[in-house]
């Protein structure tokens, strides 16, 4: 090896960076050889707070319908106490599509008395010209221009709605197992394409690849106990009044103390809420919990990985009090990332999280405002 004293490599991915690393472990070309060689450094992945995770099987968790959804699904204690079952999605397509279809107009900004009306109109129209996903409309207080666009009984001055149609969402639901979420569709050339383990039928090639990805790579999956927001879903009238602190007025949260800024981080990087992502769960914390059980209950037994083998290569932890703030999360994780000090009051095994773990699951140990969330991938190398 070129670096004979290199002992281990730590690769950390936060948010979208975590999504990238989660798939990277199944890449055949990651090391350039199918098996690690003697003397190769130990590579450890830290997948932190991804919005979606990679499923090598077509099954998904059995989730509640829209009419069954309540505030428990946005509570960290209730989420981590859930016992999920898995099946091939079929009858549930319409309901998940209904959760992700455009819900109509909802509030983007309210009237601001300190900004001239003409400037507020110009700002709303400017973002409408630049945003490809949403349509924005300036109402000037006239609710007939954007029906139901209110917040706390007051008409919003700039409203938005999704541009995609209901049929587009239904089509996305039917393709729930396509890459980036599964192995169908257009897949990178160094990963198996068009095949997944259905039932107990796994091809030898896929079985070998999955065993390699799951047992030859040590990965630590970390989810924040306060990363339990899905603003779009929680804004639906079926869940009114909203659940928890993340359903409060975000524009108000961004003003005032630094602590309140921590509570509003999802405005900078909201959870992916497409139909394909919603099949994995409703919040980032729930998606990680479901993924953990999917690996344990479905994938490992199907390709003959024992509980002991899986425990050596996969660790699932909860970062108590962390929302979706990159600076705060990395600061809280530093002892684990650098010195392997990964268990304590703030970082605990996901199975051990309970109500007593945090008196307020939204509180963070850091009150410094965090920067805008981005890809977030970093590398630490210890010699």
Q: Place 92 in a pLDDT band, splitting at 50, 70 and 90.
A: low
Span 314-331, average pLDDT: 87
Bridge partners, 221 (sequence order) = 47, 316
Q: Which position has the token pair 């959870």?
A: 271
Query: pLDDT digits over 232-269, tens only?
Result: 777 676 665 456 556 554 444 444 444 444 444 565 67
Looking at per-residue confidence, does 338 or 240 come out higher?
Answer: 338
Q: Which of 305, 285, 284, 282 is nearest to 295 (CA)?
A: 305
Span 36-57, average pLDDT: 84
Q: Which of 248, 253, 224, 228 is nearest to 321 (CA)?
A: 224
Tell me what pLDDT residue 191 has: 77
Q: How far apart are CA 101 and CA 95, in angstroms?
A: 10
Span 311-322, average pLDDT: 92
pTM: 0.75
Q: Place 139 in a pLDDT band, splitting at 50, 70 and 90.
A: very high
Q: Which position has the token pair 């896929």?
A: 206
Looking at per-residue confidence, does 17 or 101 come out higher?
Answer: 17
Bridge partners, 378 (sequence order) = 12
Q: Which of 237, 229, 225, 251 is nearest to 332 (CA)?
A: 225
Span 326-337, average pLDDT: 85
Query: b/e map of 145-177 (b: 16 or more CB within 10 Å)?
Result: ebeebbbeeebbbbbbbbebeeebbbebbeebb
Q: How far apart are CA 245 and CA 229, in angstroms?
A: 9
Q: Percent of the chain having pLDDT more than 90?
A: 30
Please say if the pLDDT value at position 93 is more than 80: no
Whether the CB-CB separation of 148 and 105 falls below 8 Å is answered with: yes
Please say if the pLDDT value at position 148 is more than 80: no
Q: Place 2 in a pLDDT band, splitting at 50, 70 and 90.
A: low
Please give the backbone phi and psi of residue 348, each rounded to the nearest 5 degrees, phi first.
-130, 160
Lowest mean pLDDT among 94-108, 293-307, 332-346: 94-108
Q: Which position has the token pair 């996901």?
A: 350
Alpha carbon of 212 to those of 28, 42, 195, 283, 299: distances in Å? Answer: 9, 15, 17, 29, 13
Span 151-163, average pLDDT: 84
Please say if the pLDDT value at position 304 is more than 70: yes
Question: Mean pLDDT highest for which of 12-21, 181-190, 351-360?
Answer: 12-21
H helix or E strand, kind and range, residue 366:
none
Q: Place 290 in a pLDDT band, splitting at 50, 70 and 90.
A: very high
Tell me what pLDDT residue 372 has: 29
Whether the CB-CB separation of 38 and 263 falls below 8 Å is answered with: no
Looking at per-residue confidence, does 128 or 365 come out higher?
Answer: 128
Q: How far apart are CA 223 and CA 286, in angstroms?
A: 9
Rounded to the nearest 5 percent, the helix, strand and coil shares of the chain are: 35, 15, 50
Q: Place 292 in a pLDDT band, splitting at 50, 70 and 90.
A: very high
Lowest mean pLDDT among 24-33, 125-134, 362-371, 373-382: 362-371
Whether the CB-CB separation of 243 and 361 falls below 8 Å is answered with: no
Question: Mean pLDDT highest for which of 8-17, 67-76, 102-111, 241-250?
Answer: 8-17
């Amino acid at each position: 090896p070129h670096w004979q004293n290199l002992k281990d490599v730590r690769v950390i991915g936060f948010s979208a960076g975590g999504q990238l690393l989660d798939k990277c472990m199944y890449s055949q070309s990651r090391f350039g050889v199918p098996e690690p060689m003697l003397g190769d450094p130990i590579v450890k992945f830290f997948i932190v707070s991804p919005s979606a995770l990679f499923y090598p099987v077509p099954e998904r968790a059995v989730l509640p319908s829209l009419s069954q959804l309540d505030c428990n699904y946005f509570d960290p204690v209730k989420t981590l106490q859930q016992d999920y079952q898995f099946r091939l999605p079929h009858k549930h397509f319409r309901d998940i599509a209904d959760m992700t279809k455009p819900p109509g107009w909802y509030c983007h900004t309210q009237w601001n008395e300190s900004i001239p009306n003409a400037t507020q109109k110009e700002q709303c129209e400017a973002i409408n010209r630049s945003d490809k996903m949403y349509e924005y409309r300036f109402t000037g207080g006239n609710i007939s221009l954007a029906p139901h666009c209110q917040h706390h009984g007051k008409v919003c001055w700039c409203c938005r709605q999704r541009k995609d149609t209901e049929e587009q969402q239904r089509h996305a639901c039917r393709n729930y197992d396509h890459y980036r979420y599964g192995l169908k569709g257009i897949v990178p050339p160094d990963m198996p394409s068009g095949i997944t383990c259905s039932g107990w039928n796994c091809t030898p090639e896929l079985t070998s690849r999955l065993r390699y990805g799951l047992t030859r790579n040590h990965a630590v999956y970390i989810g924040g106990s306060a990363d339990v927001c899905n603003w779009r879903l929680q804004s639906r009238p079926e869940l009114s009044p909203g659940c928890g602190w993340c359903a409060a007025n975000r524009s108000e949260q961004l003003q005032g103390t630094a602590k309140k800024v921590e509570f509003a981080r999802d405005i900078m990087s909201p959870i992916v809420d497409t139909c394909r992502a919603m099949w994995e769960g409703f919040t980032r914390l729930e998606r990680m919990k479901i993924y953990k059980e999917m690996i344990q209950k479905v994938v490992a037994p199907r390709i003959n990985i024992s509980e002991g083998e899986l425990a050596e290569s996969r660790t699932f932890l909860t970062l108590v009090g962390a929302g979706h703030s990159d600076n705060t999360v990395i600061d809280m994780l530093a002892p684990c990332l650098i010195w392997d000090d990964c268990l304590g009051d703030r970082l605990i095994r996901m199975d051990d999280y309970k109500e007593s773990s945090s008196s307020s699951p939204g509180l963070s140990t850091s009150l410094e405002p965090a920067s805008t969330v981005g890809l977030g991938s970093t590398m630490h190398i210890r010699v």
